A and B are shown apart, each in its own frame.
Chain A
Amino acid sequence: MTYRNPPTTPRKSATFDDYTLSEIRRAAATGIYDIRGAGAKRKLPHFDDLLFLGASISRYPLEGYRERCDTSVVLGSRHAKKPIELKIPITIAGMSFGSLSGPAKEALGRGATLSGTSTTTGDGGMTEEERGHSKTLVYQYLPSRYGMNLRDLRRADAIEVVVGQGAKPGGGGMLLGQKISDRVAEMRTLPKGIDQRSASRHPDWTGPDDLEIKILELREITDWEKPIYVKVGGARPYYDTALAVKAGADVVVVDGMQGGTAATQEVFIENVGQPTLACIRPAVQALQDLGMHRKVQLIVSGGIRNGADVAKALALGVDAVSIGTAALVALGDNDPRWEAEYNELGTTAGAYDDWHEGRDPAGITTQDPELMKRVDPVAAGRRLANYLKVMTLEAQTIARACGKNSLHNLEPEDLVALTIEAAAMAGVPLAGTNWIPGKNGF
């Protein structure tokens, strides 16, 4: 036998990993950037990096099944004559008809209504099935103004002026030709089948002083009845929140980079904006500095998955959270039952994000009449309601364990962080220490 030197194990680069290599090859072959749906997929500091302390000798717990723990929240009490009262502090985020199928939008309305919460329109106007099945509907006021009209504005329960979203702060909407069906085209006043790239800036206002005048106009049109939200992507949460309050918002919505989108460049989703966890304390701080915490309500979204996330967000000072991606999963998005079809599309259940292509096997992010039949709005709405109920019970479980008779009584002092990064972002101590990075000169 001849002696061979022991071989080294083939070693792949951490910098040029398999995904990166595949993306270079894809770009070289096609000459166009990758477009996809959903939010940031990279690992980020998140609510998982926080823990609740629970009760102890100095804190008295509530009985889990016997003592009341309030979950209700009022949104829009600053200026609106008719604030919104929700039974749970979890709302459904804006997702457009166009991006989503009609049955999926109906299911969101049904699920939200069963749960006593609100749902939200999107970049595409208000549909009858959505209005009809949503007890509380927030009407988005977007740069594109697709389908924006006086009648729908007046039959909305609240108005959300969308400045940006977490997946793409500074980016406009995108809906590619495959999904511009006759109905979508008509609602958006666009030719059928074109690639729709909607504006990233509002057409008739620029900056916080104009925004104040725009909000005044919306209030005058709706006789000061409806709460007006201002939604921003997680870019500069302290200043954006402060400026939204200055402009007269009743509610500020801050969407972190894990928040989903129907379609945007991958490079945008993964590299622009801040993680949800990093946005919360600056936004709360802005409200506190202005003396407006709990007077102007704060909604945070982007990567909310369970009752623990809800409880942690509320403990950090948020009034309500919003879910989009998780709601779609509850409806049936990325369900393993369609694995064979996901494989045909070159992906796998749990990773499918080519929502812009309109070929969603689950029938949710499509305008294909056959595929959308796979969504039963009643059953899917029930699943969403079940999921919202579980999230609420989970959040209550944690709150009672911390001795709180309302979810909104949770506070930063109930939390510790597992990592230095999360401790710094959330402004809570690193577990086992009294160290909050950045506080007290450290």
Chain B
Amino acid sequence: MPATKLSETVVHDQASRVFDLDQMSLRELNQALHNLAAGSNETAWEVLNPKGNHSVAVGVDQPITIDVRGSVGYYCGGMNSGSAITVHGSAGPGVGENMMSGSITVKGDASQYAGATGKGGLLVIEGNASSRCGISMKGIDIVVHGNIGHMSAFMAQSGNLVVLGDAGDALGDSIYEARLFVRGKVDSLGADCIAKEMRPEHLELLQGLLDRAGVTGVKAAEFKRYGSARTLYNFNIDNADAY
């Protein structure tokens, strides 16, 4: 497993707009981000001293970059629509929940429900992700450099979850059409989730995801693919034991 990298040299870009949460409130930060008009030239933002605050940079809808220098609490980047957020630390539960587009990179680890219900965009966790990573995902792409916890991709509807490490129990329980790629071992598969053949189009898709996530030295062929057996799509009483 890659070690979790929490420390990183801080390079302050003089052109970026710096928001110190020791000096200003979370409300002022989010309001300033929401006040950005389309085409604004304030495209580089930096957030200092997040100190585990919840809801940092939520609901951003402009194509800007946001560097968060430290660890964040719940729901960082929630509903992100187009911005590129980098958390230079770890993220609490629900990072990138319901992301629409854009990207979020977490340099450290992520807690539960990373990328929950995400509709689009790319979520990269450079450390490990906890349980329920990609729960109910609906189009988001998630790349985790480390391991993921139990019940990940529960009811995952669409999008791609790539795990360079291992997956916990009940991966992909009640999965719909999302694709899961795991390089390491899977503790167990959830109801209706099965290993699937890795066809050329999947290798191509996976390589593209690895490239977008900045993963090097890892080949798509090292992964196994998992997805829905589609046996629970229409209720059948004889399948009741599967639930």
Contact = CB atoms under 8 A, between A and B. Distances in A.
Interface in A188-219: 188-191, 193-195, 197, 199, 203-205, 210, 213-214, 216-217
A191 B112 CA distance: 27
A153 interface: yes
A194 B79 CA distance: 27
B87 to A, nearest CB: 16
Interface string A216-237: 1100111110000000000000
A31 interface: yes
A149 B100 contact: yes
Nearest to A145: B117
Contacts of B135: 203-204
B97 A204 contact: yes
Contacts of B55: 213, 216-217, 220-221
Contacts of B234: 177, 193-195
Interface residues of B, number: 41
A216 B54 contact: yes
A203 B100 contact: no
Interface string B79-98: 10100000000000110011
B138 A195 contact: no
A30 B235 CA distance: 13
Interface residues on A, range: 35 or more
A150 B79 contact: yes
A309 B14 CA distance: 64
B157 A32 contact: no
A223 B136 contact: no
A210 B55 CA distance: 12
Interface string A171-190: 00000110000000000111
A150 B80 CA distance: 8
A154 B58 CA distance: 13
A205 B94 contact: yes
Contacts of A224: 27
A32 B79 contact: no
Contacts of B185: none
Nearest to B59: A221
The list of the 4 closest CB pairs from A to B, nearest first, reads: A221-B59, A145-B117, A204-B94, A194-B233
Given A204-B112, A210-B74, 6 more contacts: A32-B237, A204-B75, A213-B54, A217-B75, A221-B55, A221-B59
29 contacts: A144-B136, A145-B136, A148-B117, A149-B119, A150-B79, A150-B100, A189-B138, A189-B157, A189-B158, A190-B176, A191-B233, A194-B233, A194-B234, A195-B233, A195-B234, A199-B136, A203-B135, A204-B75, A204-B93, A204-B94, A205-B93, A210-B93, A213-B55, A213-B75, A214-B75, A216-B54, A217-B58, A220-B26, A222-B59
